[in-house]
Amino acid sequence: MQTGRVVITGAGSGLGRELALRYARAGWRVAVADIDATRAGAVSAEVRALGADAAPFAVDVGDDTSVQALRDAVRAHFGGVDHVVNNAGVASAGDVVDTALADWRWMLEINLLGVVRGCRAFVPDLVAQGRGHVVNIASFAGLAGAPGLASYSVAKAGVVALSESLRAEMALHRTGVGVSVVCPAFFQTNLLQNFRGPETARAMAGRLMQRSADSAAGVAARIYDAVAAGRFLVLPTAQEPLRWRLKRWLPEFYFRKLIATIAAQRPAA
């Protein structure tokens, strides 16, 4: 993959930070965007320590004006971008009828519309220059159909559908812009820092993260390689390619296994 300029939201920690470092090791100039300006500055320093150019930017992907301001600031500093990684997000759990409408709105505003804002802000510039790539970070929750993750799953499924539509639009108009959507399952990261939902769900998610053999650095490396290869659907955690095939080819078998697995993980009443 040729090097260039990349902007990554949610780059102040977790997967976003590891993506920033992975791009930096490949020689990219990195716009480190995060809601926490201090974290963005710290990761920018890490990127520069690797010998790559970096600049920190504060952004709230849940706010139209903030995302537009990020675009303008990145344009001014780097002269534009070549890759856009819409990574920033929050976590939640809860059943459909038990999740408060306020939490539904919070989740959709950040995890779905935050990606929409990123695409609307940066894709016109990519199209104008005739090249580039959009990387939307979704989740295997957006494909799995699992219980107890209603608002999170809906938002991430929306990111998958958004990415499919954007990919088709870019191809139809022969823009030269590629699209990837990334659907990891649980891995070792700090996603639960801004979690909303039952404490039992938080505890179960924490256990699954701890048990995972996948690290944030490993997931970031697989994402980088998949984008370089031009892949659209990226399943960067170890067990998800098989699970996705089972759901596509044997949907009823997959459903029975899903329910049995989730039931076994829940504490006894």
> Is residue 269 over pLDDT 60?
no
Residue that has been written with the tokens 């823009």 in this structure = 175
What is the model's pTM? 0.92
Across the chain, mean pLDDT equals 92
pLDDT per residue as tens digits for the range 85-142: 999 999 988 999 999 999 999 999 999 999 999 999 999 999 999 999 999 999 999 9
Rounded Cα distance between 226 and 219, Å, is 11
pLDDT per residue as tens digits for the range 136-156: 999 999 999 999 999 999 999
Q: What are the phi and psi torsion angles at 136 (to 5°)?
A: -100, 120
List the catalytic residue out of 23, 152, 224, 254.
Answer: 152
For residue 106, what are the CA distances in angstroms to 57, 94, 168?
22, 14, 28
Active site residue 23: no
> Is residue 6 over pLDDT 90?
yes
Rounded Cα distance between 84 and 135, Å, is 6
Q: pLDDT value at position 100?
A: 94
Dihedral sign, CA of 48, 53, 57, 63? negative
With contact defined as beta carbons under 8 Å apart, do 59 and 34 qualify?
yes
> Is residue 56 over pLDDT 90?
yes
Q: pLDDT value at position 197?
A: 56
What is the percentage of the chain residues whose pLDDT exceeds 70? Answer: 89
Confidence class of residue 176 from pLDDT cuts 50, 70 and 90?
very high
| 38-65 b/e (C-beta count within 10 Å ≥ 16 → b) | ebbbbbbebbeebebbbbbbbbbbbbee
Most distant CA pair in the chain, distance: 58
